[in-house]
């Protein structure tokens, strides 16, 4: 399925346009078409917390259904998955209603199901309309407009984040990992990296393969507590196993060492920590152990940030994200300060300095971001390391704000 990104003058018109297109997509076919998106009715439906909720349910449905095919789009309504299923549409809608009403994060997603004859709704199943918990109004009608009440937005975000940091310790770390990756890659512009609406400068990777990467890594994180978190050799073995499984999942032999290393080292440091501030000390300790045992691979300079325990991330990047609340401006902030070895290696020092200069001057000039995005794409810049640090920053943001709650759950489960 090749889905065209939709545009319209209003959310209401956009939703009506999508509804008509979906009916056409399933016309004359057997089975059903599931359209899965967020239930957020605020002003920016491309928020990473909304995308995280959609990703989470999509991954669960992946396990539940035998999907014939799937695709996605990312427009003013946010991230939306389109899934072709063999199952009867009435049964699929019934299952999705159960998810929406009873799954811990079901409140955050919305679904439409079509077959060749009709769109299946709650009304079709003889059920009452779905009501939004916060506004106490019909969700379907609410989604046609924009809710500007900051309390509505905060409530949605807090409920999604509450889901992320709840459950057994393996699930919490898996949730945080997915949240970090979704935050780092599911955005309007990548400045040379791939995303839902842009190819990026790496021909071997795209957003579809990224989805496979995240799903594979997510599953592997569930066994992180079987690894000795104080042993560099055991951690390195785990990282190699994860990288190999990702390569099989995305069907290429490109190296994923850096992204797996940087994100997993934060996880192991968190496990070993005795407080949020202690995570940086644990990262430094593990980094020294890796260096002493010659386990940093062929490009050890890429890991120089470990020498001070990623202090820049803790002291600069995370506070900037928490203050700006903008994933894209945080990426530009990182790009302006970090010597991205991927850019340096592929594009040279002059290109790196140019990108850093432009990023620094455009951090707060959102109307100019598209120009920088086009510039980076035109010279095939690929800010891989910067984007990975954005993923790490998003993970640490959650870890900091919910550190005590997570650790208390860990301690309770260990007794």
With H, G, I as helix, E, B as strand and everything else as coil, classify residue 4.
coil
* Other CB atoms within 10 Å distance of the CB of residue 2: 5
The hierarchical CATH code for the domain 166-414 is 1.10.4200
**Helices assigned H by DSSP within 165-301:** 169-185, 207-221, 232-250, 257-272, 276-292
Locate the domains of the chain by residue range. Answer: 11-155, 166-414
Closest Cα to residue 64, out of 42, 39, 34? 34
pLDDT tens for the chain, residues 1 to 415: 556 566 666 888 888 888 888 888 888 889 999 999 999 999 899 999 999 999 999 999 999 999 999 999 999 999 999 999 999 999 999 999 999 999 999 999 999 999 999 999 999 999 999 999 999 999 999 999 999 999 999 999 999 999 999 999 999 999 999 999 999 999 999 999 999 988 899 999 999 999 999 999 999 999 999 999 999 999 999 999 999 999 999 999 999 999 999 999 999 999 999 999 999 999 999 999 999 999 998 889 999 999 999 999 999 999 999 999 999 999 999 999 999 999 999 999 999 999 999 999 999 999 999 999 999 999 999 999 999 999 999 999 999 999 999 999 887 776 5
Angle, CA of 403, 364 and 182, to the nearest 5°: 45
With H, G, I as helix, E, B as strand and everything else as coil, classify residue 322.
helix
Structure tokens at 363: 């951090």
Task: Say if CB 231 and CB 198 are below 8 A apart.
Answer: no
Beta carbons within 8 Å of 82's beta carbon, 6+ residues apart: 1, 3, 22, 25, 33, 34, 35, 36, 70, 71, 72, 73
């Amino acid at each position: 399925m090749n889905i065209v990104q939709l545009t319209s003058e209003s959310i209401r018109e956009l939703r009506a346009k999508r509804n008509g297109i979906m009916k056409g997509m399933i016309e004359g076919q057997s089975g059903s078409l599931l359209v899965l998106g967020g239930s957020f009715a605020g002003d920016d439906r491309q928020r990473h917390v909304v995308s995280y909720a959609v990703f989470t349910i999509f991954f669960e449905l992946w396990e539940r259904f035998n999907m014939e095919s799937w695709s996605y789009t990312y427009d003013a309504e946010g991230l939306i998955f389109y899934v072709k299923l063999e199952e009867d549409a009435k049964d699929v809608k019934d299952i999705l209603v159960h998810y929406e009403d009873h799954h811990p994060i079901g409140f955050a997603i919305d679904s439409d199901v079509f077959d060749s004859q009709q769109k299946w709704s709650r009304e079709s199943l003889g059920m009452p309309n779905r009501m939004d918990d916060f506004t106490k109004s019909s969700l379907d009608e609410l989604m046609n407009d924009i809710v500007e009440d900051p309390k509505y937005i905060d409530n949605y975000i807090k409920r999604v984040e509450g889901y992320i940091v709840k459950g057994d310790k393996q699930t919490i770390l898996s949730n945080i990992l997915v949240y970090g990756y979704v935050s780092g890659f599911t955005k309007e512009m990548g400045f040379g990296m791939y995303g839902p609406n842009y190819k990026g400068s790496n021909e071997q990777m795209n957003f579809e393969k990224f989805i496979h990467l995240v799903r594979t890594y997510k599953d592997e994180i569930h066994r992180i507590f079987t690894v000795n978190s104080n042993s560099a050799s055991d951690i390195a073995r785990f990282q190699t196993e994860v990288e190999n499984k990702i390569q099989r999942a995305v069907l290429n032999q490109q190296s994923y060492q850096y992204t797996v290393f940087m994100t997993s080292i934060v996880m192991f440091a968190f496990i070993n920590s005795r407080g949020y501030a202690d995570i940086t000390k644990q990262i430094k300790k593990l980094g020294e152990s890796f260096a002493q045992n010659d386990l940093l691979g062929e490009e050890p300079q890429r890991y120089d940030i470990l020498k001070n325990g990623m202090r820049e991330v803790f002291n600069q990047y995370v506070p900037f994200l928490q203050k700006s609340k903008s994933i894209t401006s945080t990426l530009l902030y990182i790009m302006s300060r970090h010597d991205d070895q991927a850019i340096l290696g592929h594009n040279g020092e002059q290109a790196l300095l140019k990108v850093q200069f432009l990023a620094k001057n455009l951090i707060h000039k959102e109307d100019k971001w598209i120009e920088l995005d086009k510039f980076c794409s035109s010279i095939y810049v690929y800010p891989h390391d910067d984007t990975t640090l954005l993923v790490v920053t998003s993970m640490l943001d959650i870890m900091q704000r919910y550190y005590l709650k997570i650790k208390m759950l860990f301690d309770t489960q260990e007794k």
